Amino acid sequence: MTDAPRAPRPLPVIQGDVTRRALMKGAGAMLGAAAFARALQPLTEWAQDLSVDQFLQRHYREMSPDEMQAVLRRLEAQAKEDYGADVRIDDVRPQPGVQFAYALNLSVCVGCRRCAEACHEENNHDRPSGNSYIRVLEMTKGSMDMEQGRADYDGPVPRPDKFYMPVQCQQCDDAPCVKVCPVEATWKEQDGIVVVDYDWCIGCRYCEAACPYHARRFNWTKPQVPADEVNPDQAYLSNRIRPQGVVEKCTFCLHRTRRGRLPACLEACPTGARVFGNVLDPDSDIRWVLENKRVYVLKEELGTRPRFFYFFDK
């Protein structure tokens, strides 16, 4: 046998003045406990803003319609309390027979970043960080390599030897971010949009590491938006003001597009570079682009099957 039987050995005998040492140890433990509580003070302060309802809230897909209504009203009240804004938060569901896709004409994009700005306002992004779901790359003509591009370009656009490539969530059909999430806080909806339940996300940021398109953002702090700048037209899964410590992403403005409107970035585009719609509708612009233009997707070799297409006109 691996363990040869040995004479059993008792635990060491305690020597010396046991009572005195027990007292010393008790005092040490009390001191330690007090220091422990003191060290955790910031956590106690933070937990005061956390209600039991909030803590126990269930996953988006497990909530009954009544539960959802209660949550929406609570979130509205919270927005009023935290931001001083009267907002309306709805649970906007996908429409049957709709599959969304997006296309972007790189020949006409001038790199003005109005789309990124519109996204910032529409989606109630944190003001100080200037966050947006869209990043525009200035690319060098003659190269499709993103290494030759830069996002921090400045000055008048468009520059003659450059072209501009806005990148946002590609709403992949085989999304790496959805695969890696340990708690199913992110998933793909029927109409092709990848969403996040901001109240279920644990903030591990594995999705951010997995996304090949830099599409995801983390709320490193509680977002700051002045009351008069808050977009009051909100949805649970899209542009409501996100809690601190969770991941967020582009939702193709589902609070608009699921109600027949266009994404904010498209409406803001001055050159008409952006085409959005339902690919199942044979008369839609997006369908025309996909049928008549030679479109391509970013990083096709990764097998993520994006729903965001790029094309050149000339």
Sites for other proteins among residues 49-88 (CB under 8 A): 50, 55, 59
Cβ contacts of 88 within 8 Å, gap of 6 or more: 76, 232, 233, 234
Kindly state the smallest distance separating residue 103's Cβ from other proteins, in Å.
Answer: 19
Rounded Cα–Cα distance for residues 221 and 219 (Å):
5
Using alpha carbons, list the distances in angstroms from residue 199 to 44, 48, 113, 238. Answer: 20, 17, 30, 12
Residues 230-249 that bind other proteins (CB under 8 A): 243-247
Residue from 114, 150, 287, 293 touching other proteins (CB under 8 A): that is 150
Contact flag: residue 225 with other proteins (CB under 8 A): no
Burial 20-31 (b: 16+ CB within 10 A, else e): eeeeeeeeeeee
Report if residue 30 touches other proteins, rule: CB under 8 A: no
Q: What angle do CA 270, 271, 277 make, to 5 degrees?
A: 95
Window 94 to 113, contacts with other proteins (CB under 8 A) = none
Chosen residue from 94, 111, 149, 263 binding other proteins by CB under 8 A: 149
Q: Residue 14, interface with other proteins (CB under 8 A)?
A: yes
| Cα radius of gyration rounded to whole Å, the chain | 26
Which residue from 184, 229, 291, 300 is in contact with other proteins, where contact means CB under 8 A?
Answer: 184
| Nearer of residues 219 and 278 to other proteins, judged by Cβ | 219
Q: Give the x-and-dash track for 118-137 against other proteins (CB under 8 A).
A: -----------------x-x
Q: What is the DSSP letter of 314?
A: -
DSSP state of 77: H
Contact criterion met (CB below 8 Å) for 92 and 255: yes
Binding mask 262-301 for other proteins (x = CB under 8 A): -------------------------------------x--
- Binding to other proteins by residue 42, rule CB under 8 A? yes
Query: Measured in Å, how far apart are the chain's first and last C-alpha atoms?
Result: 80
Amino acid at 211: C
User: Shortest approach of other proteins to residue 254 CB, angstroms?
Assistant: 21
Q: How far is the CB of 277 from other proteins (least distance, A)?
A: 26
User: Smallest gap, in angstroms, from Cβ of residue 138 to other proteins?
Assistant: 12
